[in-house]
Every structure is written in structure tokens, then in C-alpha cells.
């Protein structure tokens, strides 16, 4: 049965109140469980539109009695960010109060959970998963958040922590459909990639930024590392971040198409009854996130792109130029930006004013790049 819950955030400011709306389908506690949330970065509305359409599909499936597992959908994951309007412009991605990226710095629960379950695991992998999940749920229930953002993170994590599938729905700035997945879950997640029509499925064991999805996908490997030995601990969660193209790609047509793809994935994975039909031909293979060349503006100025999204570019190719009309030497008014990867140009910026060092585009190559060290995601 569908249920709707409004969970209140702990306010940071007296006299304010926000909540997260949580939609639950199927039987609480039924397996498998999927958790999907939209627009954690707040200004990424294509994800919200996909969730809006997915709600209709799930409502209809629920009415037909076709929800086999449990599906939790949070159609608006970030009411704090959604309200950040400054001088008429909406500013998502970063929490204005703290400067924190809304999708970074999620806590690593592995160490705490490992302490809780040490000595309590056995030879049965499924039983171990249940024991570990119970410990994780208890940890999150006991946590006392200090303010609104911490409270938001607690609510979202608490809903997702015992799910078999966690899909964090986002979008990029101006981009084609792409997907981030845990390296260990490839090629298991190839059906998700094909279903969504991802043109770049980017794999990392640990991107270095502790985004929401990795909290759940990396947890099990880390517990294995800490507790390992005789007690089997499987990778119990397939988690990923779906980038529903660019910020301007908001329409009913795209939302309905994306929702249908998510719904077929849920069907294919046994959460919803029915025949999803044949899996679409994949549009890409999984490639390392470390093989993505992040193009950066070496100087400030106007960005002009010399490649279109979807174009296959070659190492050494000038993908963009930065134009500074005030450069004293007219010959130095244009600074080329070359890619060092052979691959697909899949993301760029809508706003064409760049500051030095700013990321202005992404090329998905197949081979890890020596320049990609440290954190692999933008801050």
C-alpha cells in the first residue's frame, strides 16, 4: 500500500520549518528494496521531473497490486536548497549557510558499524547483511543532528541505508545522459546503464568526495576489509548517481521517458511485476571515472566551444577556446583548451563566462589519465 510521510527537518533558524516528503510503495520490509531520491543538488530539475512521472507509474502499479518489493521515492530531496533564491536567481549545489556541497561529505558509517557487529557475524551472508543493516539503522536513529542540513542528511540516509538499490537522481549543467556507478558493481549495473540510455557510465571505487551513492555502495567493501576473514559480507547495495542530462532539459516528454526507464529497471530487478521487454542496446561500456578528462579554463574569459556534445574528440583536439577581449596582445586574446583524452565530449557549461581553473567540459575516455589524482569529482 502506498503511504506518504512528511519528515520534519530540525530547523536551524527559529520560526522556520521544512520537511521531506517520503512516498512508500509495497510492503514495508519486503525485499528487494529500492530507494530513489531526486534533486539533492536542488537546482537539477530534470531529476525531479523524472521522479514526478515515476510517482504516477508507481501509483498505477500499486493500484494493480504489482509492487513486489518495497520502493521508497523522495521526489524532492532537498527543500533547503530549493529555497535558496538570491536576487531572483536560484542557487543550488552548495548550502549557502555553510558553503558545503549538498552531495559531498556524507559520513562513512563503516567504522562505527564494524564496531557494532564485530563478533556477531557468521557464515551466512544473508544473515550477516541483516545484522549489519540493523546496526546501521540503529546508528542513524541514535544520531543527533546539529542543524537543518545534518538533519536532512540523516533523514535521507535513514531511508536508503537498508535498500538493495539506491539511485540518486541528478543532472549536470549542459550534458548528455550519464551515470556514476561503484566499480565493484560493474557489469552488474549494465542493465541500468542500458535502460537509461547512458552514453558515459563512469566507474570508481572511491571518488574521494563521499557523495550520497558511495555511502551505500562502498560501505560493504569497507566492512569486508575491516571484518573480512571467515564471515562473508556481500556487496549488498547497488548504488548510483544518474545524471539526467543538463539543467535545462526539463520537459514532460523527457520526464516520462526517464521515469519509464527507471520503472523498467525496477521491473527487471524484481521490485515490480511485469515484463520490461528486451533490454535496449547499451550506448556505452563502463569506463573509469579516472579516464574522464575535466577540461579547465587556463585563464578567465568567454568560453566558445568547438565541439558539440556527443562528439568523439581526440587527444590534442581543441575543444574550446577562452576569449579575453582585453588581452593587450591581440594574438593572445584566445587561449585554446585541448583535451588529453580520446573519448566522448558529454558535458559542458551553459554559462559562457569562465574563471581560471574552472571546469568547462568533460570528455569520457577509456583509459585512466595520469592527471586524475586525488578527488575525482568537482568540489
- Residue nearer to Zn ion on the CB measure, 41 or 264: 41
Tell me the torsion sign for CA atoms 164, 116, 106, 206: negative
Angle at 149 between CA 88 and CA 201, to 5 degrees: 85
Q: Least distance to Zn ion from the beta carbon of 103, Å?
A: 6
Cα distance between residue 236 and residue 225, in whole Å: 15
Q: Which residue, chain included where needed, has cell 558535458?
A: 347
- Residue of minimal Cβ distance to Zn ion: 170
- Residue nearer to Zn ion on the CB measure, 110 or 377: 377
Peptide bond into 316 cis (omega under 30): no
Q: How many CA atoms lie within 13 A of 35 on its CB side?
A: 24
Q: Least distance to Zn ion from the beta carbon of 40, Å?
A: 6
Tell me the torsion sign for CA atoms 183, 184, 190, 192: negative
- Residue nearer to Zn ion on the CB measure, 48 or 199: 48
Cα distance between residue 347 and residue 234, in whole Å: 34
Q: Which of 359, 351, 347 is nearest to 174 (CA)?
A: 347
- Residue nearer to Zn ion on the CB measure, 240 or 301: 240
- Residue nearer to Zn ion on the CB measure, 110 or 242: 242
**Environment class of residue 112 by beta-carbon count within 10 Å: exposed (0-12), middle (13-18) or buried (19+)?**
middle
- Residue nearer to Zn ion on the CB measure, 41 or 245: 41
Positions in the binding site for Zn ion (CB under 5 A): 41, 44, 170
Cα distance between residue 297 and residue 351, in whole Å: 13
Q: Least distance to Zn ion from the beta carbon of 73, Å?
A: 18
C-alpha cell at 31: 525485499
- Residue nearer to Zn ion on the CB measure, 24 or 170: 170
The two counts, helices (H) then strands (E), for the chain are: 8, 20
Q: Least distance to Zn ion from the beta carbon of 364, Å?
A: 17
- Residue nearer to Zn ion on the CB measure, 52 or 170: 170
Q: Least distance to Zn ion from the beta carbon of 107, Å?
A: 19
- Residue nearer to Zn ion on the CB measure, 41 or 269: 41
Q: Which of 366, 100, 369, 355 is nearest to 212 (CA)?
A: 100
Q: Least distance to Zn ion from the beta carbon of 42, Å?
A: 9
Q: Least distance to Zn ion from the beta carbon of 246, Å?
A: 11
Q: How many CA atoms lie within 13 A of 61 on its CB side?
A: 26
- Residue nearer to Zn ion on the CB measure, 133 or 178: 178
Q: Least distance to Zn ion from the beta carbon of 167, Å?
A: 13
Task: Render the burial of 28-56: b for 16+ CB within 10 Å, e for the rest.
Answer: eeeebbbbbbbbbbbbbbbbbbbbbbbbe
Q: Least distance to Zn ion from the beta carbon of 44, Å?
A: 5
C-alpha cell at 218: 562502498
Q: Least distance to Zn ion from the beta carbon of 178, Å?
A: 12
Cα distance between residue 261 and residue 117, in whole Å: 37
Amino acid at each position: 500500500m502506498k503511504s506518504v510521510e512528511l519528515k520534519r527537518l530540525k530547523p536551524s533558524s527559529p520560526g522556520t520549518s521544512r520537511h521531506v516528503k517520503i512516498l512508500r510503495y509495497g510492503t514495508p520490509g519486503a525485499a528487494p528494496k529500492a530507494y530513489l531520491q531526486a534533486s539533492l543538488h536542488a537546482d537539477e530539475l530534470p531529476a525531479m521531473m523524472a521522479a514526478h512521472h515515476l510517482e504516477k507509474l508507481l501509483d498505477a502499479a500499486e493500484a494493480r497490486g504489482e509492487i513486489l518489493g518495497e520502493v521508497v521515492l523522495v521526489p524532492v530531496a532537498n527543500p533547503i536548497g530549493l529555497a535558496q533564491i538570491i536576487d531572483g536567481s536560484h542557487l543550488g549545489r552548495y548550502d549557502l549557510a555553510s558553503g558545503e556541497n549538498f552531495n559531498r561529505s556524507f559520513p562513512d558509517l563503516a567504522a562505527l558499524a564494524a564496531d557494532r557487529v564485530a563478533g556477531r557475524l557468521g557464515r551466512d551472508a544473508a544473515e550477516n547483511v541483516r545484522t549489519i543493516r540493523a546496526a546501521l539503522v540503529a546508528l542513524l536513529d541514535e544520531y543527533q543532528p546539529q542543524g537543518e542540513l545534518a538533519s536532512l542528511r540523516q533523514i535521507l540516509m535513514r531511508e536508503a541505508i537498508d535498500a538493495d538499490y539506491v539511485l540518486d537522481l541528478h543532472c549536470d549543467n549542459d550534458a548528455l545522459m550519464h551515470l556514476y556507478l561503484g566499480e565493484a558493481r560493474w557489469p552488474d549495473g549494465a542493465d541500468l546503464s542500458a535502460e537509461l540510455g547512458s552514453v558515459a557510465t563512469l566507474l570508481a571505487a572511491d571518488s574521494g568526495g563521499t557523495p550520497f551513492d558511495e555511502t551505500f555502495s562502498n560501505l560493504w567493501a569497507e566492512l569486508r576489509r575491516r571484518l573480512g576473514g571467515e564471515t562473508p559480507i556481500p556487496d549488498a547495495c547497488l548504488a548510483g548517481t544518474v545524471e539526467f542530462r543538463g539543467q535545462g532539459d526539463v520537459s514532460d516528454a523527457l520526464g516520462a521517458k526517464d521515469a519509464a526507464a527507471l520503472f523498467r529497471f525496477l521491473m527487471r530487478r524484481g521490485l515490480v511485476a511485469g515484463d520490461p521487454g528486451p533490454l535496449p542496446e547499451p550506448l556505452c561500456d563502463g569506463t573509469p571515472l579516472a579516464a574522464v578528462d575535466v577540461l579547465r579554463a587556463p585563464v578567465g574569459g568567454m568560453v566558445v566551444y568547438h565541439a558539440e556534445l556527443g562528439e568523439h574528440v581526440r587527444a590534442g583536439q581543441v575543444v574550446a577556446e577562452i576569449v579575453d577581449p582585453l588581452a593587450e596582445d591581440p594574438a593572445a586574446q584566445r587561449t585554446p583548451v585541448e583535451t588529453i583524452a580520446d573519448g566522448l565530449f558529454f558535458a559542458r557549461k551553459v554559462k559562457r563566462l569562465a574563471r581560471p581553473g574552472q571546469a568547462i567540459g568533460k570528455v569520457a575516455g577509456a583509459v585512466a589519465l595520469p592527471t586524475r589524482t586525488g578527488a575525482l569529482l568537482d568540489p
